[in-house]
Amino acid sequence: MKILAFETSCDETSIACLEVNKKKLNIPSFTISSQIKLHAKWGGVVPELAARQHTINIIPLLQETLQQAKWKPKDIDLLAVTSGPGLVTSLHVGVATAKALAAAWQKPLIGVNHIAGHLVSPFVNPNNWSWAFKKTIWPAVALVVSGGHTELYKMKSINQWQLLGKTLDDAVGEAFDKVGKMLQLPYPGGPKVSKLAVLGNDKAFAYPRPMLKTKDYNFSFAGLKTAVLYSLNKFDKQKIDQKIKSDICASFQTAALDVLITKTLKAAQANKAKTVIISGGVSANQALRQKMNAVLKKEIPNINILWPDLNVTGDNAAMIGLAAAVSTNFKISKKLSNNWQNINANANWELWN
Ligand code: KG4
Ligand code: ZN
């Protein structure tokens, strides 16, 4: 089936053309227009500006994406759009655009949960796609780590998930971004904090590992973020040099990763997982990749570990199109005709409800 997918849940406008069935995945075009530069001046995403920029970007990006794929509207079998969770003003732009196209072109439309997209993102690669239906990889335990989410799921198949635990306060990406802001690093802080961490000593500051030993699979990062703030306040502002900043980044990153890795390992062991999937913006973090791989391979020698390619760790429409395809089981049922009337933005849509 040929799918045209849209993602506008935060600050990336993204559109993808996918041709997919159970055996084969082809992505003839895939575009992302990032707004990072626009929001960097404000130190974070400004919802009104994000929505305005999506509105400016989305139609030219649609024309470019269709042209690259050499697709005409008549070629498309299904439209897909992220309808939640996310910033409501941003979601509305993608949802309204996809609904208008579905009504005008008379195409079925599916509203996709953004987290369902992140969960399938390691398969957004024609070479990995065949893995998705191999019985030998399921059940899996999946860790989603992004700017808005930190969640652990058990997956029985590519389209069946069950929540094991989630953050009770800040998401881990949000904590990275806030530490970046405290250290006056440009937005988004995550990639910059991880870069500085490479140069620092991760034992320089004894930060807490919140909820490391609790029996559940929940997380908490607000206390860790506050511990970083307190340690920073002890210094005379003029004296906070590159060495102190790097040590703070390294110590913070190691504390955060320790919790993520310990809980993921515990969940994988308890659920007899054959595979661990890690996805979301923070899955681009190289220290997380190295440490998670080392710990999992040591403790569960036969485990498969799946990471998204670096072009799909962040928000993108290719993962949304793939999640839509999987949800249909690759057939367009009659109940999808005129389905655009049922699709609305839902900023708080929880995958587990
Ligand atoms: O998935 P994503 O693009 O958007 C959401 O759905 O939230 O994730 C963005 C988050 C931001 O908090 C960003 O700082 C973080 O992912 N991030 C990183 C790295 N690259 C992106 N955090 C730590 N290390 C990185 N290398
Ligand atoms: Zn995301």
Identify the helix (H) or strand (E) that includes residue 143.
strand 140-145
Please give the distance, rounded to the nearest whole angstrom, from the Cα atom of residue 45 to the centre of ligand 2: 13
3-state secondary structure of 126: coil
Q: Is the CB of 176 under 6 A from ligand 1?
A: yes
Please give the distance, rounded to the nearest whole angstrom, from the Cα atom of residue 279 to the centre of ligand 2: 9
Candidates 338, 290, 322; CA nearest to 118 is 322
Phi, psi of 135 (to 5 degrees): -60, -30
Q: Is the CB of 315 under 6 A from ligand 1?
A: yes
Determine the atom of ligand 1 nearest the C-alpha atom of 173. 12
Q: Is the CB of 84 under 6 A from ligand 1?
A: no
3-state secondary structure of 156: strand
Determine the atom of ligand 1 nearest the C-alpha atom of 286. 26
Q: Is the CB of 177 under 6 A from ligand 1?
A: yes
Q: What would the pLDDT profile of 288-298 be if each residue is shown by its tens digit?
A: 999 999 999 99
Q: Is the CB of 19 under 6 A from ligand 1?
A: no
Task: Spell out the residues 6+ positions from residue 316 whose beta carbon is closer than 8 angstroms to its own.
Answer: 7, 12, 14, 16, 30, 32, 117, 121, 124
Please give the distance, rounded to the nearest whole angstrom, from the Cα atom of residue 166 to the centre of ligand 1: 17
Q: What would the pLDDT profile of 160-214 be if each residue is shown by its tens digit?
A: 999 999 999 999 999 999 999 999 999 999 999 999 999 999 999 999 999 999 9
Q: How far apart are CA 81 and CA 112, in angstroms?
A: 6
pLDDT higher than 70, residue 353? no
pLDDT higher than 70, residue 153? yes
Ligand nearest to C-alpha 313: 1
Average pLDDT on 330-340 reads 95
Average pLDDT on 137-162 reads 97
Average pLDDT on 58-72 reads 98
Q: What would the pLDDT profile of 85-110 be if each residue is shown by its tens digit?
A: 999 999 999 999 999 999 999 999 99
Ligand nearest to C-alpha 279: 1
Instruction: Say what percent of the chain tops pLDDT 90.
Output: 98
Ligand nearest to C-alpha 115: 2
Please give the distance, rounded to the nearest whole angstrom, from the Cα atom of residue 109 to the centre of ligand 1: 28
Nearest protein CA to atom 11 of ligand 1, as residue: 147
Please give the distance, rounded to the nearest whole angstrom, from the Cα atom of residue 74 to the centre of ligand 1: 36
